[in-house]
Amino acid sequence: MPTVITDSHCHLDFPDFDEERADVIARAQEAGVHRMVSICTRLRQADQVRAIADSYAPVFWAAGTHPMSAAEEPMVSVDDLVALTDHPKFVGIGETGLDYHYTAESAEVQKESLKVHIAAAQETGLPLIIHARAADEDMARILTEGYKAKPYSCVMHCFSSGADLARAALDCGFYLSMSGISAFPKSKELRAIFAEAPLERILVETDSPYLAPPPYRGKRNEPGYTVHTAKVGAEVFGLSYEDFAAATEANFDRLFSRAAAWSAAA
């Protein structure tokens, strides 16, 4: 069997891909990236992201209000998010979270939005997808308090925060996702954090069109480049590429069980 991996987080609805979306998805499959989760960051764009999942067999989707947009968008409700779960290829809640690097002025709105998303994850049993930047203390506290109140599953998407937040997430049984940032030459401290994490809690992603890993750094990212991050992940864990890919596939299937069930039935 060929070695396959999953891009657990990308943005195929973004205009960067408008002219060649089908080709981008085909290139990903040729590279061995057999599944992609395209993330809707504003609920008013849900129909567009859903349509991509409907049009392309390898694509699944998730939706939420990105923290950097929380102050600009209507406050999401649990009912809004739960309603999206009727679609069979809808696999996660988010991305949501906290970003105090760019949008610290909307911190209170971001926290309110995050708590709504946590409640939706608790109600639906679907995994929460978290964006965290420059907000480690508040993020660890809110995620942990929510988990203690009612357990839920979660992935720290594009994880590039500190060791304390990593430990808090792992203590709740959450997952850490490696993006192209993990493959940057200067990301030694970040790779060390991943190396201390259990292999069974690791995912890979692109966050495309952003954060392309070497040798494409500085260019538009795309799902097929997940392979390059996964090769670095294999080095971090001292594994062959094939064994690391198999581990992250098992992890993805465990966390995103809806996608796994869909793939098994296809």
**Secondary structure of residue 148 in the 3-state scheme:** helix
pLDDT tens for residues 6-60? 999 999 999 999 999 999 999 999 999 999 999 999 999 999 999 999 999 999 9
CATH class, range 5-265: alpha beta
Confidence of residue 263 (pLDDT cuts 50, 70, 90): confident
pLDDT for res 2: 84
Residue 207 annotated as binding site: yes
Residue 86 annotated as binding site: no
Distances (CA, A) of 119 to 74, 127, 201, 209: 17, 11, 22, 29
Residue 95 annotated as binding site: yes
Please give the share of the chain, as a percent, with pLDDT higher than 90. Answer: 98
pLDDT tens for residues 163-203? 999 999 999 999 999 999 999 999 999 999 999 999 999 99
pTM metric for this prediction: 0.97
Instruction: Identify whether the C-beta of residue 260 lies closer than 8 Å to the C-beta of residue 35.
Output: no
Q: Which residue has the tokens 């195929």?
A: 12
How far apart, in whole angstroms, are the C-alpha atoms of residue 183 and residue 223?
Answer: 15
pLDDT for res 73: 96
Helix ranges (DSSP H) in 125-240: 136-149, 163-171, 188-196, 226-236
pLDDT tops 80 at residue 266: no
Q: Which residue has the tokens 């720290």?
A: 156
Residue 117 annotated as binding site: no
